[in-house]
């Protein structure tokens, strides 16, 4: 836990300030969720984090402005390519963020959707810093919370910080794809990492009547487990960008192969910066296509598209950007349907997202 010279009044004011930001930014979270943020400190879980400057991630530790930044409604990057902020040298590191403390207002929306009650058995996929696990402990009780993550060092660090902050959940190093069968069944399952489709283990380990909240297919979904083994629900309104669940088979991030000098397009690359359209586009691109910013890769046939402004460079046997162009025209024709209007269903027979337009036209996509 940080030894920075902050007194109790400063820390209390910081938590009150964050709770006030959360109430303004979230969709009227339940009072018990706001109360959790008032009572659970964030700073013990992020004694250091990175700030990016000119492509370099520089560590920021306790000092001028540090506490204010910790208790602001912002994502705090805590690990870059496996290097933790506490271990980074003063010159910083280059690379891709691999762990972070989630945007608090998004955490509040997800916790509100999860509707945790005292005594609920909770599984969290993606321990990260341990801060969300601490909030879950406050809501459900320590002995009812299990949290898992892949990294041994990350898990050990989170376990230590949770203990120092007065919380004692089960913290385990495990592949999140497998859930944690030792504590199943769970009344509530929440994931703080993105998945294309709901892993079967999560569905099996959720008790009938239980809730699952997870970023599925590019947006956060809330599903209820039914007695027949399926889980059904809708997407939350809030935009969300989560790091993907790591299973050891991550795709490389190399630049795409080129096909000539590219072609022009009326659909500017920046349409994918709109979270509402990006969600719609991902559904149309299908389960084998991974989108990394403006770069699309199809693991099935090797096709790649890299859009820059109104030019797209292509590789592989098909033009992925044509799908984006067609999806954008349909999205505009339908008056930009919102995420919360989409349904999601997961079961042993498959996983499907659905949307019913006002004119009665229905759309269904397999995840």
Q: Which two tokens stand for residue 94?
A: 């280059």
What's the rounded Cα separation, in Å, for the pair 259 and 256?
9
Q: What is the mean pLDDT of residues 328-343?
A: 96
CA 176 to chain centre: 13
Higher pLDDT, 144 or 102: 144
Mean pLDDT of the residues in the chain: 91
Q: What is the mean pLDDT of residues 192-204?
A: 93
Q: What is the mean pLDDT of residues 105-128?
A: 96
Q: Is 187 part of a structural domain of the chain?
A: yes
For residues 17 and 83, membership in a common domain is answered with yes
101 given a catalytic annotation: yes
- Segment (H or E) for 291: strand 289-292
pLDDT of residue 240: 74
Q: What is the mean pLDDT of residues 300-319?
A: 94
Per-residue pLDDT for 44 more than 90?
yes
Q: Give yes or no for a contact between 256 and 267, defined as CB atoms under 8 angstroms apart.
A: no
Q: What are the angstrom distances between the C-alpha of 158 and each of 24, 155, 314?
A: 29, 5, 43
Per-residue pLDDT for 135 more than 70?
yes
For residues 272 and 202, membership in a common domain is answered with no
Count the neighbouring beta carbons within 10 Å of the beta carbon of residue 258: 12
For residues 150 and 186, membership in a common domain is answered with yes
Residue 255 confidence class, pLDDT cut points 50, 70, 90:
very low
pLDDT of residue 257: 46
Q: Which two tokens stand for residue 117?
A: 């009650």
Residue 25 confidence class, pLDDT cut points 50, 70, 90:
confident
Count the neighbouring beta carbons within 10 Å of the beta carbon of residue 335: 9
Count the neighbouring beta carbons within 10 Å of the beta carbon of residue 333: 9
For residues 205 and 306, membership in a common domain is answered with no
Q: What is the mean pLDDT of residues 289-309?
A: 93
Q: Range with the lowest mean pLDDT among 59-73, 254-268, 339-353?
A: 254-268
Higher pLDDT, 311 or 98: 311
Conformation bin of residue 242: beta by default, left when phi > 0, alpha when psi is -120 to 50:
beta
Decide: pTM greater than 0.85: yes
What residue spans of 40-123 are helical by DSSP H?
66-70, 104-114
- Segment (H or E) for 96: none
Q: Is 248 part of a structural domain of the chain?
A: no
Burial of 252: CB neighbours in 10 Å, binned 0-12, 13-18, 19+: exposed
For residues 217 and 280, membership in a common domain is answered with no
Higher pLDDT, 7 or 249: 7
Residue-wise pLDDT tens digits, 76-85: 999 898 888 9
For residues 21 and 149, membership in a common domain is answered with yes
What's the rounded Cα separation, in Å, for the pair 11 and 17?
10
Write the DSSP symbol of residue 243: P
Q: Give yes or no for a contact between 57 and 50, defined as CB atoms under 8 angstroms apart.
A: yes
For residues 213 and 277, membership in a common domain is answered with no
- Segment (H or E) for 66: helix 66-70
Q: What is the mean pLDDT of residues 190-205?
A: 93
Q: Is 48 part of a structural domain of the chain?
A: yes
Q: What is the mean pLDDT of residues 103-124?
A: 96
Per-residue pLDDT for 252 more than 60?
no
Domain coverage including residue 274: 263-333
Per-residue pLDDT for 256 more than 60?
no
pLDDT of residue 1: 47
CA 119 to chain centre: 25
Q: Is 305 part of a structural domain of the chain?
A: yes
Q: Which residues contact 286 (CB under 8 A, 6 or more apart)?
A: 365
For residues 148 and 289, membership in a common domain is answered with no
- Count structural domains, the chain: 2
CA proximity to 339, closest of 191, 221, 189: 221
Residue 247 confidence class, pLDDT cut points 50, 70, 90:
low
Residue 292 confidence class, pLDDT cut points 50, 70, 90:
confident
The CATH code of the domain that includes 107 is: 3.40.50.150
Residue 63 confidence class, pLDDT cut points 50, 70, 90:
confident
pLDDT of residue 4: 54
Per-residue pLDDT for 254 more than 70?
no
Q: Give yes or no for a contact between 335 and 280, defined as CB atoms under 8 angstroms apart.
A: no
Q: Is 319 part of a structural domain of the chain?
A: yes
For residues 175 and 114, membership in a common domain is answered with yes
Catalytic residue among 26, 99, 100, 101: 101
Q: What is the mean pLDDT of residues 313-320?
A: 94
Q: Is 36 part of a structural domain of the chain?
A: yes
Q: What is the mean pLDDT of residues 102-111?
A: 94
Q: Which residues contact 228 (CB under 8 A, 6 or more apart)?
A: 347
CA proximity to 288, closest of 245, 320, 324, 257: 320
CA proximity to 307, closest of 363, 242, 352, 256: 256
């Amino acid at each position: 836990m940080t030894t920075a010279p902050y007194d109790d009044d400063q820390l209390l004011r910081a938590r009150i300030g964050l709770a006030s930001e959360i109430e303004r930014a979230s969709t009227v979270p339940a009072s018990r969720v706001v109360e959790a943020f008032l009572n659970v400190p964030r700073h013990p879980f992020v004694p250091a984090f990175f700030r990016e400057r000119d492509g370099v991630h520089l560590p920021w530790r306790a000092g001028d402005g540090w506490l204010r930044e910790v208790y602001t409604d912002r994502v705090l990057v805590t690990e870059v390519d496996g290097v933790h902020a506490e271990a980074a040298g003063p010159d910083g590191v280059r690379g891709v963020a691999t762990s972070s403390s989630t945007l608090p207002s998004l955490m509040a929306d997800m916790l509100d959707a999860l509707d945790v009650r005292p005594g609920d058995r909770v599984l969290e996929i993606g321990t990260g810093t341990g801060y969300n696990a601490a909030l879950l402990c406050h809501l459900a009780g320590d002995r009812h919370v299990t949290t898992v993550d892949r990294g041994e060092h990350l898990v050990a660090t989170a376990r230590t910080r949770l203990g120092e902050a007065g919380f004692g959940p089960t913290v385990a190093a495990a592949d999140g794809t497998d859930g944690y069968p030792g504590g199943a069944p769970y009344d509530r399952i929440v994931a703080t990492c993105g998945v294309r489709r709901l892993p079967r283990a999560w569905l099996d380990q959720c008790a009938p009547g239980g809730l699952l909240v997870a970023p599925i297919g590019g947006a956060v979904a809330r599903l209820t487990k039914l007695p027949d083994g399926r889980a059904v629900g809708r997407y939350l309104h809030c935009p969300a960008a989560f790091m993907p669940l790591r299973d050891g088979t991550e795709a490389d991030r190399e630049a795409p192969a080129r096909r000539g000098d590219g072609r022009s397009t009326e659909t500017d690359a920046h349409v994918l910066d709109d979270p509402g359209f990006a969600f719609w586009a991902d559904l149309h691109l299908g389960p084998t296509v991974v989108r990394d910013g403006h770069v699309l890769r199809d693991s099935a046939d090797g096709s790649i598209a890299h859009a820059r402004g109104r030019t797209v460079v292509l590789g592989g046997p098909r033009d992925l950007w044509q799908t984006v162009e067609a999806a954008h025209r349909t999205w505009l024709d339908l008056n930009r349907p919102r995420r919360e209007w989409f349904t999601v269903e997961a079961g042993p027979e498959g996983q499907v997202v659905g949307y019913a337009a006002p004119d009665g036209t229905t759309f269904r996509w397999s995840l």
